[in-house]
């Protein structure tokens, strides 16, 4: 999506992929500065390492605890951002026409990665209620403690059992899958059968090539729930990265078309 965006804006640059070993992120970032790079996206497993490798950390990235976008200024300084949270907000607004602050949100897999970033972003938006689930309970207990310092969002931790999920699902509006479950056809279902209703909004951070539905997507369709997959988040967090690099609005239509073509291919 970034190369179509660069072409649409007439920017003489190219977006490329670079493999970086764990433990060498700081070295790689300095090399990018020396080679005249304008910006970098940082993906798993380097987001936490990048937080310590940049010169200037955006306050939101500091709160979210990870950097996934680096912009290089004219002086060669590295500015670290996190676009997962803001991209999530834009995605929810586009997909469902509502603001996160007006919703009761359940996050499956809130203990780390993008799921954690979304949980913190929801708390910063002061959503109506935040319900956290994770296979490792201690991780969400720590996260809930951090969220208490951010605002007044009521936060509940729920055990990941069918009984607990069935009890809480009637009390939430938006369900977010922050796990990797759904990438494979034979992945275990995230929710008990029949748990979703047509009143639910379902945001799946997983996406499959060609727009194939995940098991959560299939369950949402059967229930008549509104559903969107992770390609929407990928688009919007990428657009925000572009805006950090070039200080201009991202050409969203060009990026959307490029992303759609890549996913089909």
d(CA 80, CA 26): 12
d(CA 132, CA 171): 13
Q: Are strands 104-108 and 174-177 parallel, antiparallel or unpaired?
A: parallel
Which residues, 6 or more positions from 38, have their beta carbon under 8 angstroms from its beta carbon?
13, 71, 72, 245, 246
Which are the catalytic amino acids?
47
Looking from the CA of 189 toward its CB, the CA atoms found within 13 Å total: 15
Which residues, 6 or more positions from 15, have their beta carbon under 8 angstroms from its beta carbon?
2, 3, 6
- Burial (CB < 10 A; 0-12, 13-18, 19+), residue 226, is middle
């Amino acid at each position: 999506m970034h190369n179509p965006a660069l072409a649409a804006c007439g920017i003489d640059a190219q977006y490329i992929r670079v493999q970086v070993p764990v433990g060498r992120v700081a070295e790689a970032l300095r090399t990018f500065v020396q080679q005249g790079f304008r910006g970098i996206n940082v993906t798993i497993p380097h987001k936490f390492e990048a937080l310590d490798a940049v010169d200037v950390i955006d306050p939101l990235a500091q709160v979210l605890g990870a950097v996934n976008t680096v912009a290089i200024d004219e002086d060669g300084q590295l500015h670290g951002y996190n676009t997962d949270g803001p991209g999530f907000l834009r995605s929810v607004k586009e997909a469902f026409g509502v603001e996160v602050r007006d919703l009761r949100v359940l996050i499956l897999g809130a203990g780390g990665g993008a799921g954690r970033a979304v949980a913190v972003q929801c708390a910063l938006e002061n959503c109506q209620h935040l319900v956290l689930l994770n296979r490792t309970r201690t991780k969400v207990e720590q996260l809930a403690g951090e969220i208490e310092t951010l605002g007044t969002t009521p936060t509940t931790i729920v055990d990941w059992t069918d009984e607990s999920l069935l009890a809480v699902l009637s009390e939430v509006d938006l369900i977010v899958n922050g796990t990797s479950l759904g990438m494979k056809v034979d992945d275990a279902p995230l929710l008990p059968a029949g748990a979703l209703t047509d009143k639910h909004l379902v945001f799946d951070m997983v996406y499959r090539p060609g727009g194939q539905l995940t098991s959560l997507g299939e369950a949402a369709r059967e229930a008549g729930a509104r559903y969107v997959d992770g390609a929407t988040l990928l688009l919007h967090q990428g657009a925000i990265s572009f805006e950090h690099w070039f200080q201009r609005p991202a050409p969203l239509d060009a990026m959307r078309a490029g992303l759609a073509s890549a996913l089909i291919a």
